[in-house]
Amino acid sequence: MAKALFATRALGMRGCLAAFLCLTALLLTTILAPNDAFARTYTAMIIDDESGEVLHEYRPDHKVYPASLTKIMTLYMVFNALEHGKVSLSTPMKVSKRAWGQAPSKLGLNPGETITVKDAILALVTKSANDIAVVVAEHLGGTEIKFAQMMTSEARSIGMKRTTFRNASGLPNRGQMTTARDMIQLAIALRKNYGSYYHYFATQKFKFGNRTYGNHNNLLASYYGTDGIKTGYINASGFNLVASVNRNGKRLIGVVFGGRTARTRDDQMKKLLDQAYIKLTKEGEITVPRPRNSPEDKILPADAQLLIAKRDTMREAEQQPGRIDTQTVVSRLKPETTNGWAIQVGAFSDQRRAQEAVLAAARTAPDVLRLTRATVEQQASGTGVVYRARLLGFDGETEARAACAALRRENLACIPVNSGDAG
């Protein structure tokens, strides 16, 4: 009887322990897992390209399907062949019946037609053409199966330990797997080993025949400093993205897998990159070299001003706890720089839109705005918070109005304001 009672109590304790462990795991999952905008395949990683410092990671070694991120490796093999003289940019490659029969997305060339290596690169970067991926594979490897083996072997040589390729396009295959960490490694190796070809990833439009194809990588047009590299999607993986952003000599590389939509994937990447740049700014000085042969008083790039101002804001917040919300204040200039006239290029309820507005203005009229300082100022209003996108430092109203006139000619909104005004 005593033995039975002891056994029952022991079983009860084990049950409680198991329940506690399950509850703990559930809580951790709830805290760490992304929201419903992401699939179970969600994984992400952000690194500082120069130092290799990991600035964010979430299940970076979890195996996922690469989808069209596969084509980054396919292009890596093309660049390798170019570098070793096996092909040139003008080399024609024939379309086989097998390549022609690939599922979309594709260019739709007929069997027997040819495409040059250069056009193939651009088709893979922008259109993410599956038929052209097979054309490349068969030209360089004889067969796509052999080419995939070559891809896997090369992947191992550059440190992609958990990646296996079965095809050149990324179309569904259960054996074709990778990780966020491995994709980071590929992006690093790509720039290190074949940097002279890296500019292709910044191509926003590709004209072939009578059609023009846009790049699927929306960050090229919407997130300042983005110069690559590739998107991907299949049902089993969700929406994926490898991105490379260079701001003032500080390059970040990011990977996001598992977005339920392209928009949620893009928004998540922007959020992670924003946080990474803020972290770098807070932890240490970000030096911004001036352009060669430029006047000493030439303005630093607008986003550099934002980052530096953001760093100053954070330091002030640390000295005066509770006074400043560093999560909502994008930038604020020191009081002595706010005298004179400014121009306002928008007032927004979203801080990112305000930041993009000042960056767009600075890019549109760099000569006119070369002595100004970019700022996004937070202001409380009856309906919430307003972010005013402004450029400060004009000598007078006439100069501010002239700057606005230049921006309006480029279809940008602008009004001159006295920078001492509160409204």
Catalytic residue numbers read: 68, 71, 128
Distance of CA 62 to the CA centre of its chain: 20
Tokens of 143: 């067969």
Largest CA distance in the chain: 99
Rounded CA gap, 214 and 243, in Å? 17
Rounded CA gap, 283 and 239, in Å? 32
Of 290, 268, 317, 314, the C-alpha closest to 45 is: 268
The DSSP-derived string for 179-245 is: -HHHHHHHHHHHHHHHGGGGGGGG--EEEETTEEEE-S-THHHHSTTEEEEEEEEETTTEEEEEEEE
Q: Are 160 and 185 in contact (CB under 8 A)?
A: yes
The DSSP-derived string for 105-121 is: S---PPTT-EEEHHHHH
Of 259, 232, 254, 252, the C-alpha closest to 242 is: 254
Tokens of 414: 């602008």
Which stretch of DSSP H or E encloses residue 250? strand 250-259
Q: Are 160 and 178 in contact (CB under 8 A)?
A: yes
Q: Are 400 and 367 in contact (CB under 8 A)?
A: no
